Amino acid sequence: MSVIDSDDQPRASASSSAAIRESVIVAGHRLDVFTEAPAVFESMLGDIDQAQHRIWMETYIFADDASGTAIAQALMRRARQGLDVRLLYDTVGSTATPLAFFAMLREAGVRVHGYHSLWESLRKMRFFTIFNRRDHRKLLVVDDRCAYFGGMNIVDHDRDWRYLNLDDRAAPMTGWRDMHIRMEGPQQQQLTESFERSWAHATGLRLGRRSTAYRRVRLSGGAESIHFFDSGPGLKFSRAPRVYRRMLGGAQHSVVIAMAYFIPVGRVMFALTRLRSRKVGVRIIVPARPDVRIARYAALYLYKKLLRAGFTIHERTTRMMHTKLIVIDRQWTILGSANMDPRSLYTNLELMAVIRSDKFAAVARRICRHEIRRSRRVRLADVARYSVRTRFLAMLAWSLRWWL
């Protein structure tokens, strides 16, 4: 069963969910593409069980639900067997998870650290500086063999569709759509190093200085390539906006954006609006009912401007689309944990991948087409019919965009 059209088929059972994926070879690397969480979790559990030396996981949300508990049990089992098992989770993203859950992991030998806790922000007397900065990355490194990255947290957003065999229309908010990659190949080492720096930053270890060249977005030549960019708070380290500006600025023909939280600001917004002046076709896909409602209102504020400029906007209905994906000129793909919003661009810790590959871009475009088929197109006439209340909330949300 193809990962792209999994909504169109009967739901896979838990035992067969790992089949819901598509594999692509890019620059000597195998990339397995997932868009459904059960398949990712099953694949992760298989790799955790086969690990020989280390298992390092970084996530925004680590829930104590069925999937989170299964992964936690696997981590604890391997830690008891003497492997180097680490878990870096975000304390705000994982607020709903009891502290006893993480204490259980520590007792089993897992090295656990919560990123920027409330206590840390108060102890250092830098509440807004520390507590506002979140670790939004999603990364799993297993030995020197494979790594996972993308937008999926360790949480069951699907609730009960696996057991009730519900489709899109019957289960309007079950089974979030997202994108996650399992990678095998030599550049897995770069993700290992990225985790090491993130762990050192979170635990207060000394970090080596980054060169000025690090802040630049440089891409190698060749028909195929994979580049990773970590991004952090502050103008010196926020590489997410540089990646988006560089890639949008080089677009020649088409740009397709599937974005969970779409609130472009500053130079990213400028790069986006310049696309139509260069006659580049732009399609934007956003969730019709995101889990953060104020983020939707902030996006609504931009609709009239973008539609008048010639952009095409689609709202993904019935299921929450948590994807962060851009496909440019059928050749370049940008994906990872970074949304196109102020928090991801300038405040959070994020991880992004820029992949140059016609084959991988074709897979990404099929994912976007899948979302468009389940979307409603927004037109200027629709925007004109928005109520006074909706317009007011959109204006209010936009004024608060830097704090969403």
Quote the pLDDT of residue 211. 72
Domain boundary pick from 192, 207, 236 = 192
Q: Enter the DSSP assignment of 314.
A: E
Is residue 206 situated within a structural domain? no
**Together in a domain, 181 and 230:** no
**For residue 100, is pLDDT > 90?**
yes
pLDDT mean over 322-331: 97
Nearest-angstrom CA–CA distance, 241 and 115: 23
**Together in a domain, 263 and 392:** yes
Domains in the chain: how many in total? Answer: 2
pLDDT, one tens digit per residue, over 31-90 is 999 999 999 999 999 999 999 999 999 999 999 999 999 999 999 999 999 999 999 999
Q: CA triplet 256, 260, 262: central angle to 5 degrees?
A: 70
Measured between alpha carbons, how far is residue 306 from residues 251, 263, 303 in Å? 17, 12, 5
Residues 6+ apart with CB under 8 A from 107: none
Q: What's the first-to-final CA gap in the chain, in angstroms?
A: 37
Q: Enter the DSSP assignment of 81.
A: T
Quick count: other Cβ atoms within 10 Å of Cβ 386? 15
**Together in a domain, 133 and 240:** no
When pLDDT is cut at 50, 70 and 90, the band that residue 119 belongs to is confident
The CATH number of the domain holding residue 309 is: 3.30.870.10
**Together in a domain, 220 and 174:** no
Q: Whole domain around residue 265: which residue ranges? A: 215-403
**Together in a domain, 41 and 178:** yes
Domain boundary pick from 154, 177, 192 = 192
**Together in a domain, 83 and 132:** yes
**Together in a domain, 242 and 348:** yes
**Together in a domain, 80 and 172:** yes
Nearest-angstrom CA–CA distance, 145 and 140: 11
